[in-house]
Copies of this chain bind each other. A is one copy, B any other.
Amino acid sequence: MHVLIVGAAGMIGRKFAGAIASSGLSGTGPVEQLTLVDAVTPETPAGFSGEATCLALDISDPLSAPKMLAGRPDVIVHLAAIVSGEAEQDFDKGYRVNLDGTRHLFDGVRQLSLTDGYCPRLVFASSIAVFGAPMPDAIDDEYLTAPMTSYGTQKAIGELLLQDYTRRGFFDGLAIRLPTICIRPGLPNKAASGFFSGILREPLSGKPAVLPVEDSVRHWHASPRAAVGFLTRAATMDLGPVGHRRVLTMPGLSATVAEQIEALRRIAGDKAVALIEPRPDPDIIRIVANWPRGFKAERATALGFRAESSFDEIIRIHIEDELGGSL
């Protein structure tokens, strides 16, 4: 089994590669070969005993796809993207990487498919950013995509391309729409969604955090561990039962900021909660008002995808995976 991860240096990419190094891809036998691609050279995950090829490539360059596909990977996981804020600031760069880069990858696979019948599993990380206001509180699996950012537009286009290329038989594709990942490890960043993680991660480490919105704000979350589980399942499951609609909204937890804070209080006490400073930010309030609050995710749930069912669980996963198991 040979796995290619495009976007392997990002947070999810590193965790997914690490999971492969430690446990393989369940149900598919051992992973002997990893090809890891990102804009900067990705690191081979600790403990990986197979052959790893780490490449720094610009996916918007049409010559990159043949290089990353040279070893005919059995499974391709495409996570690479210019993130929402940057795709909004730099229109050309967002389209070049998120649309053209995705298309070059898909077309690279198609060329090999036309040459010799190559037909890998291809998992594309999409996003709930394909949805835009107005939306019901719980969006069903048949709701229209109406993105309100260029990033969301590019992800929605990737979903359409993936389904057409799959229908044509060029690869066996599945697009999964990831919830907002919480708790993101690492340093605070300037993403508009950063506070959802920050108000938990920082107090859990004894540091202050800013809350820029009302605590009644409701959003859709899953842990980094759940995201790795989604990718693993998407990479290995039988896609027959998915049918021809190859886009699945992943399950998650719909929770308000107040519910996040109460979970923090239960696990880390009033002292941790006191580190959260409410400081309303009109820009972030305006942006977040257009974000989804929840989903039904019935198809993905029926297909065995699982996320957390409480914020207590999400916080405990962070403590286990990032803080050595205890506060």
Contact = CB atoms under 8 A, between A and B. Distances in A.
B163 A153 contact: yes
Interface stretch (A144-152, A196-204, A208-216, A281-289): A144-152
A52 interface: no
Given A142-B144, A144-B143, A145-B144, A160 B156 contact: yes
Contacts of A148: 167, 244
A69 interface: no
Given A153-B161, A160-B157, A145 B145 contact: yes
Interface in A111-137: 132
A279 interface: no
Interface residues of A, number: 22
Nearest to A290: B244
A259 interface: no
B150 A168 contact: yes
A141 B134 CA distance: 12
Contacts of A244: 132, 148
Copies held by the complex: 2
Interface in A271-322: none
A67 interface: no
Contacts of A160: 145, 147, 153, 156-157, 160
Contacts of A142: 143-144
B146 A245 contact: yes
Contacts of A153: 160-161, 163-164
Nearest to A142: B144
A289 B91 CA distance: 40
A93 to B, nearest CB: 14
Instruction: Name, among A145, A153, A164, the residue most crowded by chain B CB atoms within 10 Å (CB to CB).
Output: A164
A253 B164 CA distance: 29
A153 B159 CA distance: 10
A244 B146 CA distance: 9
A132 B163 CA distance: 12
A153 B145 CA distance: 14
A314 B45 CA distance: 66
A232 to B, nearest CB: 26
A103 to B, nearest CB: 9
A164 B150 contact: yes
11 contacts: A91-B168, A132-B244, A143-B143, A145-B160, A147-B164, A150-B164, A153-B163, A156-B160, A157-B157, A157-B160, A160-B160
Given A146-B245, A156-B160, 14 more contacts: A91-B168, A141-B144, A143-B143, A145-B145, A145-B160, A147-B160, A147-B164, A148-B244, A150-B164, A150-B168, A153-B161, A157-B160, A157-B161, A160-B160
> 6 closest Cβ contacts across the A-B interface?
A153-B164, A153-B160, A142-B144, A157-B157, A144-B144, A156-B160
